[in-house]
Structure 1
Amino acid sequence: MSSGPAEPPSDPSTEPPVARSAGAVPDRLPVPSRVRPGTPTQRHYDRLVRVAYLVLADSTEPLAGPGRRATDQRIARAHRVVRWSLPWRQVTDDEYLWLLARVVRRAANPPRFTVALPGHWGRPVPEEDDPQSDRLLAALTTLPTPVRAGYVLLVVEQLPPRDAIGVLHEAGWPDPVVHVAAGAAERQRLADTEGITPARQRHLLTGPLTDPMTVRLRPPDQRTVRWARLGRLAALATVLLATVAVTATLSPRLARFPPEVAGPAVDGTGAPAPDGIRRVGDQAWRGAARLSLASWPTRGSRTDDTALVTAALDSWLALAEATAGDPAARTAAHGATDPDGAAAGLAVRTGTGVVTAFAAPKVPVTAPVGAAHLVYAGELTGAGGSTATVAVLADVSRVAVFRTAGADRSVRIEPAPAADARAASAIRLSAPTEPARYLVAPWVRQVQSRSLAGGQWHELAVRSGVTDPVPAGHHAAADSGGCWAGPLLRMQVTEAGVDRPFTLADLGRVPLSRLSYLSPQRDPGQSVDDADTPAGARAWSGLGCLAGELSGHAPHSVLAWEVWAGTLPGRADEVRLTCVRAELPRDANLVAAVLLVPDAPARAVATAADTRLCSPLAPAVAVAWWWESPTGGWHHVTTSGGAVAQLEVTIRGQRQQGTGLLVSAAHPDGPVGPVRVRATDQAGRAVAVLD
């Protein structure tokens, strides 16, 4: 990962844009200051307009060819999108991707109703169409908007995939990895089937034909002139009549208009209130396009407490200001996120006093993106009858929990739950050291809890969306050995398209993690089972230590796929190999092959990060590791799951072939090398090896 980019060129057709890793994109999202002439924003205005122009295209408004029309409208809309996306404050070259994400977000969600210009006034130059460009642009218009945006970021902006994923994530799309992958696949398809190389694709898309900055004006026809003249008179009359009607009819009602949006708006969310906080009505989630934290209603007994809500927002903004451009301050905030750690956090000063700020690892500590969503404001009773006041704010990717308990004031920034009816069913309100209490989604109708060790589920009462405290016995087990042991929550929902109960794990973070399971006879390409099934509960009961290690990553979900079960040299009892895949925020993931041996701690024998392994995109896998037999000697073991038809292992030139399980002869002096493992499926295609 580079330490910082050079200034992106102002001419996209001559030089590649700035490229940085996706892991750094949100860190380049500090609140910028006022734009002035000559700033990077204005130097890159033409690039941003071109991106908006291409993302705005769809199959109803072809970009090129004989059927091209409405080009005037798209040019005007592209400029309008960029101008509305420009911040009021100055940005730096390092924040170009932050600005690009704003443009992509607005271009993907243009106003539903716009006034169409009559006639044809202008279009990009030159007028002549190139057959190759027509095929390219026709294909571009048929892509889904997020895929088209991913393609434009890869081809036109020449961003590395991780940066493109980061931009789409900040723009608010779920599954940005899938969209960028689809954009890359389209780039390759055009090269393979249409004969348009990636370099040629970029040349065409950065040329005059798609340049909304250079327009050839055309003379209007008589129909256009007549409409324009009549339009001026009609507009004047309409404005006068509308002013009289609105004033007479609506003015008496404005003072009584409720501060909260009671019905669904875009994506089920409410409009920002005058204080900059977005409040959501009780029934908004019923009309939401997808069920996520953004569609939760604003709840709690202190939602009208302006001082509390303002203090919560000020603490978030103060953290953003204190860490902007200060790596040491960011390190202090991120270094204090372990719930059991003794780190003191970062002290930030607000208008009402000092607040201790914490941030989960890799979570950007920038200001809220857009108006912060007020999720909850109320009081919680903690241990010993102590009372804490809690306010929860959220934006598209983060949750901020502001807490006051006596003289202590703190704010904790953590990833938001995934935009999924299961993952976004509950968040933790209580502090890590307090008995666990949760705020549940409005579609949840029953909550139960138990420990990881098993036993009966215990009913948790829910009052005004907040659960009773989880019993102390569900947090720890006598034989846990210091590993994570719970609690687990069993959720049942209604009106959410989920017909079976599911299990969430409280790993000590604000968002919870969904646990699922797959048996050795299945693969991740099939639907997964819940962790509460008998086989799933048995598998997960041995993974407490690994789950505890994952807690710092705040995973959205964790899948335990039992790849293989059987015996190994020196053991007569059953040994199980489980591929554990954790889906993390910002479309990252961790994968570990975990060996579960009776009466021994679970041990990861192979790991990988940011990979397709053990996912629906790679439902077959081979795992290889060295096993020390209790009776002496080391054996190289290879096994497989999914549709693996053949295994081949070569150790120091000695080849061994077979299916299912391959175990080498004993090596008394320990592991030897080199070792080469090859796995193939029924069609002879190579299968990934985790070793």
Structure 2
Amino acid sequence: MPTRSRPSPTAGERIDLDLAEAALVERYARLVRLTYLVLPTSLTRHRRVLTAHGIVQRALPGTGTRLLRPAPRRVPAPRGAHERPGYAWVREQVLREALRHARRPSWWPHRLPPPRALRPGLPTVIGLRLFPHAGGTEEVALDQALGQTDGATRAAFVLATLDELPPEGVDDVLVRLGVDDPAGVRERAAGLAEAARGAAEALVRSDEFDPSSLRTQPTDLLRRRHRVRLGLITGTALVVTGGVLGVVGSGATPLTGPPPVPHGSGALDPDRVVVRSRTSWDDTARVDFTAWPARGSRTKDTDLLAKALNAWARAGGALGEDGRASRAAGTAFTRAPGTPAGAPTGSPRLLYAGDVEGDAVVLLHDGDRVARYTEPASRGGAAFEVGRTDDADVTTAAALVLHRSKAGARWLTAPWVDESATRDLLRPDTPARALGVSKDGVTSPLPEPPAGGGCGTWPVVQFRSSARIVEKHSFLLTDLGALSPAHLTYTPPPGAGAPARQPREATGSRALVTWARLACRLGALRGEGVRAVNTWDYAAQRLPEGGGEAVWACTRADTWAGRGDVFLSLRTPAARPAAPVEVVARADGTAACSRFGQHVVAGARWKSPQGHWYALGAGSRQVTALTTSGAVSGTHPGTTFAVRAPEDGAVRVRARLGNGETLDEVGR
């Protein structure tokens, strides 16, 4: 196909429709993946999937034999492996349509595409919800980071990573799409790729971002059933007398009592639950909940299993779209934030079925979620709780909270846990005490951390894994009110000239001393579906006027749903090992202090032992200078500063990184 070395601004490339059609068919999966990545993450994953397929399927015009492609504003860059003329043209069409979804009126519903995008119909899917396979923490963090950028930046990112275009090629496509400042957009996209530590290409090709390889889940079956029933009743009311209406009303099944699931009903058949042997856990490549055997004295009690499965089948209708807890037909339903409540699409795995303190308890796992069904022996009704556990590992799949009572919480431990002990996080110098565990892996009652008010103790469990899985290390878990305990880790401060350090287990003396000051802050995370909490000591500084050494830390709580919340604290010398720290900044739903947000800065006010007030600030290891404005103005080289400041008056801190970029304080 002939090309011009220097086309005029009004020139264009003629592309055969047959070439574009062939490129669309040949590269359909790639085009859908690219579109899915560019679409705003505010759409549900189901709608993103359908919208991505719909955009690609509508990329070609209905008639015509040749397509005019606008000429680039610069010398065309060499095409890569996927840069056939037809493919490049189709790609621009789908990108242009995907970017339109980011432009919506302020009054338009947040989870719907803009009005213009609603005109062509989406692929029709009735009765099912579609979503890509779950990814790991890296994929979830990348999706969260993409959601915090604009559509043009997402487009530049996928052009560079998925299609491997050179910088000039990315700029050329952005110009064609009418993007202002393409170089600046490309630089922001490069920041996303850099945060992925060279793994961006692998991440965007993962199953998490593949809308052509999908999992299915039914929609709210109970709600659909009720709507059909309501429609039939309404139709009958239009053709029969009021007396007949009275008969229908008196004999109908109550809408608040979803029907039970009979035995033998496919995936919810108690005879088909998956049961692993007790000896298979050390002969698998996946050390997570899929390796757990079925334990307990009632694993063959089909009536009990049927009740648990029936509760799971009814959970979707009982909880609705957004509710975390509700009650229906005598059963209390609860789910962790971000957890789908619908029934499993396949036969779940049985983890436990037995009696605990007189109550019947069943634990089930469907690959992405763990569900617990509890039937009290003498009090109240049954309870069903479900929470996400996708991408669990040797630590986050080491235990589940099996039962709660006034005596405390009993945990069910993983088969690879060799040693169990308990310790008080507020007393770092007190040795851990052995914890009793039954032959089925059920612990003795554990005191639960305080839910509010005073915080005189914070119990945690210390496990040591078996040498049979080639891990053999100790780690800490704490109960934050969910089915799965949260994993506690610690990242030490950066060393001089050393590479960035990674989180490690919080069992060392330095980690325990650090967590003693932070433990009581964990109470604010109860019920939030937290998977792991890491504290990163990102900077240390010598305080003026003999104030001793202060340590700046960022504590990040990652949830199973992918959300991350942080708070930054300043630890100054204290008389007590468990003296609380001062929280100086907060941010919710952020990538800060993760592998996708490795740069951080914060400021605080501090009173010296002599009674003088100072403005303090600290940045992470890549910070080269700090600038203050407001009550105190100036520029301070290095990662920390301390300057005299008035007692009142705001001081704002900004950081400059080694690459010339600037960074605002966390939470601003």
TM-score normalized with structure 1 length? 0.59
Pairwise CA distance, 1:662:
1.3
Q: Corresponding residue for 1:436?
A: 409
Amino acid at match of 1:298: A
Per the alignment, residue 442 of structure 2 pairs with 467
- Indicate conservation of the 8 Å contact 2:135/2:391, yes or no: no
AA of the residue aligned to 2:655: A
Per-residue CA deviation, residues 255-314 of structure 1 (Å, 9 max, x unaligned), is: xxxxxxxxxxxxxxxx95844854142255556553332342333221211111111122
Match of 2:369 among 359, 373, 398: 398
Query: 1:603/1:488 Cα in 2 relative to 1: closer, same or farther (>3 Å)?
Result: farther
| Structure-1 residue corresponding to 2:46 | 98
Aligned residues: 482
Aligned to 2:422: 449
Assess, with a 3 A threshold, how the Cα gap between structure 1 residues 169 and 492 changes in structure 2: closer, same or farther.
Answer: farther
Question: How far is 1:556 from its partner?
Answer: 1.3
Determine the structure 2 residue equivalent to 1:671.
649
2:313 aligned with 1:317: yes
1:680 aligns with 2:661: no
**Shift in alpha-carbon separation, 1:318–1:571, aligned structure 2, 3 A:** farther
Q: Deviations over 1:9-35 (max 9, x none)?
A: xxxxxxxxxxxxxxxxxxxxxxxxxxx
Structure-to-structure mapping, 1:485-504, within 5 angstroms: 485-496=458-469, 498-504=471-477
Other-structure match for 1:187:
159
In 2, the alpha carbon distance for the partners of 1:154 and 1:499 equals: 52
Taking a change above 3 Å as real, the CA distance of residues 544 and 498 of structure 1, as seen in their structure-2 partners, is same
Aligned to 2:241: none
Q: Identify if the C-alpha distance between structure 1 residues 481 and 304 changes in structure 2 by more than 3 Å, giving closer, same or farther.
A: same
Partner of 1:411: 384
Instruction: Give the aligned partner of residue 347 of structure 1.
Output: 327
| CA-based RMSD | 4.6
User: Cα deviation per residue 1:432-480 (whole Å; 9 max; x = unaligned)?
Assistant: 64433222223333222222123222333444442331565xx569xx9
| Distance of 2:562 and 2:464 partners within structure 1 | 25
Cα distance in 1 for partners of 2:457, 2:513 equals 16
Contact 2:614 2:645 in 1 (8 A): yes
Query: Could you tell me how far 1:137 is from its partner in structure 2?
Result: 7.8
CA drift of 1:646 comes to: 1.9
Match of 1:655 among 634, 637, 640: 634
Secondary structure of 2:530's counterpart equals: coil
For 1:584, the equivalent position in structure 2 comes to: 559
CA distance in 2, matches of 1:525, 1:637: 23
Superposition deviation, residue 362 in structure 1: 4.3
Cα pair distance change 1:638/1:355, threshold 3 Å: same
1:445 is aligned with what amino acid?
D
Question: 467, 484, 500: which is aligned to 1:511?
Answer: 484
- Structure 1 pair 65/561, CA: closer, same or farther in 2 (3 Å)? same
CA 1:272/1:128 → structure 2, altered by over 3 Å: closer, same or farther?
farther
- 2:499 and 2:424 map into 1 onto residues whose CA distance is 26
Change beyond 3 A, Cα 1:621–1:463: same
TM-superposed deviation, 1:534:
0.7
Aligned to 1:34: none
Task: Give 1:168 deviation, angstroms.
Answer: 9.9
| Deviation, structure 1 residue 412 | 1.9
Match of 2:356 in 1: 380
Q: 1:622 aligns with which of 601, 604, 610?
A: 601
Change (3 A) 1:647 1:313: same
Matched with 1:528 is 503
Shifted more, 130-139 versus 575-584: the winner is 130-139
SS in 1 for 2:383: strand
What is the distance in 2 between the residues matched to 1:95 and 1:664? 47
CA distance in 1, matches of 2:287, 2:65: 46
Structure-1 separation of matches of 2:459 and 2:96: 43
Residue aligning to 1:144: none
* Contact 2:550-2:570 at 8 Å conserved across structures: yes
In structure 1, how many angstroms separate the alpha carbons of the residues matched to 2:285 and 2:605? 49
Q: Does 1:595 align with 2:574?
A: no
Distance in 2 (CA, whole Å) between partners of 1:297 and 1:652 is 62
Q: Does 1:371 align with 2:347?
A: yes
Gaps of 5+ in 1: 1-62, 79-93, 105-123, 141-151, 203-211, 213-270, 334-345, 382-386
Structure 2-normalised TM-score? 0.61
Letter in 1 for 2:140: V
CA contact (8 A) 1:389 1:403 kept: yes
- C-alpha distance in 1 between matches for 2:98 and 2:654: 38
- 2:171 paired with 1:171: no
Deviations 1:612-639 (A, max 9, x none): 3222333332221233456545432111
Q: Deviations over 1:613-672 (max 9, x none)?
A: 22233333222123345654543211123232222223357313232321232303x133
Change in Cα spacing, 1:651 to 1:69, as seen in structure 2 (3 Å) is closer
Q: What letter is aligned with 1:171?
A: H
> Does 1:689 pair with 2:637?
no
Q: Could you tell me how far apart the structure 1 residues matched to 2:461 and 2:545 are?
A: 35
The offset of 1:589, in angstroms, is: 0.4
Aligned-pair CA distance for 1:545 = 1.4
Q: Following the alignment from structure 1 to structure 2, what is the Cα–Cα distance between the partners of residues 516 and 503?
A: 8
Letter in 2 for 1:177: V
- Equivalent residue, structure 2, for 1:138: 82
Deviations 1:539-563 (A, max 9, x none): 0111121112122223211111123
Q: Hey, what does 1:25 align to over in structure 2?
A: none
Question: C-alpha offsets along residues 559-606 of structure 1, whole Å, 9 cap, x if unaligned?
Answer: 111233445467734443221111112111011112234144322110
Alignment of 1:124-135 (within 5 A): none
CA distance in 2: counterparts of 1:646 and 1:134, whole angstroms = 40
Identity across the alignment (%): 23
Q: Distance in 1 between matches of 2:270 and 2:417?
A: 30
Q: Is residue 518–residue 524 contact of structure 1 (8 Å, CA) maintained in 2?
A: no
